[in-house]
Amino acid sequence: MTRWTASAGLLTVALLALGPAVAPAAAADPIGDPVPQKDGKQALRLEVDTMTPRVITSSTPKLTISGRITNTGDRRVDDIQVKVQRGEPVESDAQLRDLSDQNTDSASSPFVDVAGKLDRGDSVQFKVTVAARGEKSLALTEPGVYPALVNVNGQPEYSGQARLAAVSLPLPVLSVPGGAAAKRKAAPAGLTFLWPVLDTQPRRLPTTDGQVVLADDSLAESLSVSGRLFGLVNSVSVAAAADSSLLRSMCFAVDPDLLQTVDAMTRGYKVRTASGSAVTGTGAAAAKEWLTRLQDLTKGQCVISVPYSDADLVALSRSGAVDLSSLAIGSSTIVAQLLAPVQPAKDLYWPAGGTLDQRTLVDVTASGPATVLADPGHLRSVRGKAPYEVTGLETAHPLRALPVDPLLSNTLVPAQGTGALQDGMAALLYRTVFDPKGSDQLIVAPPRRWTASVAELGIYLDLAQQLLGGGYATPQSLMQVTSGANRGTTVGLTYTPQDTAQEVPRAVTTNVVRVNATRRDLLNAMDDDNTTNVDPNQLLSPIQYGLLRGMSTAWRGHPERASAWVEYANQQVTALCGQVVVNDTGRPLTLASGDSPIPVHVSNGLPVAIIVRIHLTATAGLRPKAITDIRIPPQSARSQYIKAEVIRAGRFTLDASLTTRGGTQLGSTVRMEATSTSVGVITVAITGVAGGVLVLLVVIRLFRRVRAARAGSRAGTTSEVRIDG
């Protein structure tokens, strides 16, 4: 078991980040790796609340750890004691990743008595302080990153004394109290931070009436003081106020959807409740303050735009939704507008999962050269140094890859759903100061939706400033790296079945394509109208953006939530279609002649004109004739008279419906009733033919009678002659 994959059911440890004075206190976040017992049973749960300091320096001669121990077993535990012990400094990435597997018997503090007994379910606080050097200390003699262990012993009822809980954690030492400081490298690495400013999920619901409605009001909390997004911006602002060199190493990754939503919130917004109603949101002031802070912070700095709502570009590419993919990428203009005069870096992509498939790579290079910030584990046949030219693909424009540092980035991924940064701090110190392999270029890419607390962000940036200020690393702009010449090659990026499994699934993208096709057909049917000054594109664009929110990488692993957001967009399309209807007068129609027209009344509630096609179902005795498409002005009604041929007299039912020329259903089908007293042309024709036949039959009969009479007359004359003879 590694310290990155520990089960949530095992012991956890929490460290409260003791941030700078400007940062408010925050709740502790678990870090470290619980060490399982040999029998797999856990009698005690250990939680560490504070670790002071987080990095040992010459000015911090003692380490203090405090927390809580809880009896989670089925027996009382007696004689509970705690101590801290450490091993030798790590010498490789693997040792730092697998810290819980390292030996920690090199030195330790004495056991500290915590409780004489602890009954089932009971808890007790503990605190242990150990010197960095001297007697009964951790005996630190040189800087490095040490594996440390918080060890809890006790005696369960009916058993002997044993280790009942243990948690491993990294102990970074930059300088030893009363001893040596870490040596600076002859050529310090260039250090770059990709600082993510993304919401944890999309919030804005698609609306076509101009109203701003959010799915919840959690964004207001996140933008407020001590909120997550506030902390991401404010922590850098505070650090930069003390030393502006940190900003030279920063590049802010911003979501256009987040900026657009926050900007809309500043002018007032609604929040949908569980019952479906909308209430006024509470975050307008916080949104305005946060957006101003971000604008001030990013002025003159490196900024990149992720796709709109951080849409899954690979899933979009696979679905063939080229227009949505182009919209997602092209939304960097929103960032430029709302952070003006900042201009986001062009053609720079930071994909979720650190890779893109071949089709998407071809797509992103269609409009110009592209650089992908990639996981080095996905680069194939690498030669030389970064940046790498990608040589194994046929693309319209040059493509290159720039690897992020996997150790520095992955150790910032929250362990067990938390946001602690002790692992990340240890990795940063190790990579810049103690890594024997060394590197001239380090790019740190934290989790896209980073959940670190305000206090911990402050501590992490404080360490970064110590390293930059102490000459252990040099600030390096991402733009400085990307503008340089290629120094190596790679034949392409791998995209594994595991990467495919992480995508927004095909069941979701199929619905996205369907809804988008309907939206596109509606757009083709709509027409500009000067009386309303409404652009059909403006009316329908919220639906496109809504579909992109359904494709957000925030929904990776949550297909049901992705489907729900696609359905929001589908509901808007349905609502638009429902505003163009056939009006049911409720009165039967009377057709006085065989060619009486059938009136159909159509209403258009849309603020734009639309061309519709009327459909009347043929019924026995009535044949509607073909009609042309008609244009209905915005927010008005129009009657269309449809010619029909009445075949017989009587009552008829007709189903009237509307579609666009492309076949999209508009409104609902209306059943109409009609009565005709006309015999119809066919009936007249049949009657005429029947009358003609009858006359003919009478004539024939009369002819036969006359002929028979004449024949009888001749026969009588002949008989008389014979008698006379």
The average pLDDT across 104-109 equals 94
CA-closest candidate to residue 304, choices 258, 330, 335: 335
The pLDDT score that the predictor gives to residue 598 is 83
**Cα(385)–Cα(419) distance, integer angstroms:** 32
**Cα(251)–Cα(134) distance, integer angstroms:** 44
3-state helix, strand, coil in the chain (%, to 5): 35, 30, 35
The pLDDT score that the predictor gives to residue 14 is 37
The average pLDDT across 638-651 equals 80
Q: What confidence category does residue 10 fall into, taking pLDDT thresholds of 50, 70 and 90? A: very low
Residues 253 and 332 sit within 8 Å (Cβ to Cβ):
no
> Mind listing the pLDDT tens digit for each residue in 485-518?
999 999 999 999 999 999 999 999 999 999 999 9
Q: What DSSP element (H or E) covers 646?
A: strand 644-646
State yes or no: pLDDT of 21 exceeds 80: no
> Mind listing the pLDDT tens digit for each residue in 529-542?
767 788 999 999 99
Per cent of the chain over pLDDT 90 is 69
State yes or no: pLDDT of 680 exceeds 60: no
Per cent of the chain over pLDDT 70 is 87
Lowest mean pLDDT among 6-20, 164-178, 451-465: 6-20
State yes or no: pLDDT of 474 exceeds 70: yes
Strands (E), 441-542: 441-444, 473-475, 487-490, 492-493, 526-527
The average pLDDT across 146-172 equals 92
State yes or no: pLDDT of 472 exceeds 50: yes
The pLDDT score that the predictor gives to residue 715 is 58
> Mind listing the pLDDT tens digit for each residue in 377-436?
999 999 999 999 999 899 999 999 999 999 999 999 876 545 568 899 999 999 999 999
**Cα(92)–Cα(101) distance, integer angstroms:** 13
The pLDDT score that the predictor gives to residue 518 is 97
Pairing of strands 609-616, 630-632: antiparallel
State yes or no: pLDDT of 18 exceeds 50: no
The pLDDT score that the predictor gives to residue 293 is 97
State yes or no: pLDDT of 6 exceeds 50: no
Lowest mean pLDDT among 3-17, 129-143, 190-204, 318-332: 3-17
